[in-house]
Amino acid sequence: SSPDLSLLLPCCRAKEIKTKLGTLLQKPDSTIDFIIPYPEKPEKPPKAQKPSPEEALQWRDSLEKLLQNPYGLASFRSFLRSEFSEENAEFWVACEDYKKTKSPVKMAEKAKKIYEEFIQTEAPKEVNIDHFTKAVTMKNLVEPSPTSFDMAQKRIFALMEKDSLPRFVRSEFYHELIK
């Protein structure tokens, strides 16, 4: 799990706030559409989609079923956020979205964004993948295709399945769902 960068880089947060304040002060009208970013509250999934305890029980053995359920994914992401490892789920979701992209131009844009956000060294949400996987992924990005991130996505899925899922199943987040 990676540390919360906002704690390590208060200067960047301060610069970001100053930039936003500067922009706000330059506005001629008095509309204030600026909110200082506070630490996020845990994401509460929409009540209507809450799974049955039986459905939630299936997630113990299937990360895939958990990630495919919007409520399950939101609960899992809240849990990962509490452990400072949310980038894994975010990366997995970004890859799923990327694979559905039809336009080569959009695909190239998304590939660049995913690479910069999750893969490159010192990326803001760098995922923990080995050098070989990173090298293969970078080679695949020379000509982006729907399978460019497959190897990295499989590695992160395996990491979440082996490491995060068992902890999630033992967590309060999960126990609330199976009551």
pLDDT recorded at residue 49: 76
Residue 58 is assigned to a structural domain of this protein? yes
Residue 162 is assigned to a structural domain of this protein? yes
For 103-156, what is the HEC assignment? CHHHHHHHHHHHHHHHHCCCCCCCCCCCHHHHHHHHHHCCCCCCCCCHHHHHHH
The percent of residues above 70 in pLDDT, for the chain, comes to 73
pLDDT recorded at residue 179: 86
pLDDT recorded at residue 173: 84
The percent of residues above 90 in pLDDT, for the chain, comes to 65
pLDDT recorded at residue 171: 93
CATH of the domain at 88: 1.10.167.10
How much is the average pLDDT of 167-171? Answer: 94
Using 50, 70 and 90 to split pLDDT, how confident is the model at 50? confident
pTM of the predicted model, to two decimals?
0.71
How much is the average pLDDT of 165-177? Answer: 91
pLDDT recorded at residue 13: 47
Residue 30 is assigned to a structural domain of this protein? no
Residue 9 is assigned to a structural domain of this protein? no
- Domain range for 134 is 53-176
pLDDT recorded at residue 36: 40
Residue 5 is assigned to a structural domain of this protein? no
Which tops the pLDDT comparison, 21 or 94? 94
Residue 42 is assigned to a structural domain of this protein? no
Residue 3 is assigned to a structural domain of this protein? no
pLDDT in tens, 126-167: 999 999 999 999 999 999 999 999 999 999 999 999 999 999
Residue 70 is assigned to a structural domain of this protein? yes
pLDDT recorded at residue 16: 53
Residue 44 CB partners (closer than 8 Å, separation 6+): 74, 78
Work out how many domains the chain is built from and give that number: 1
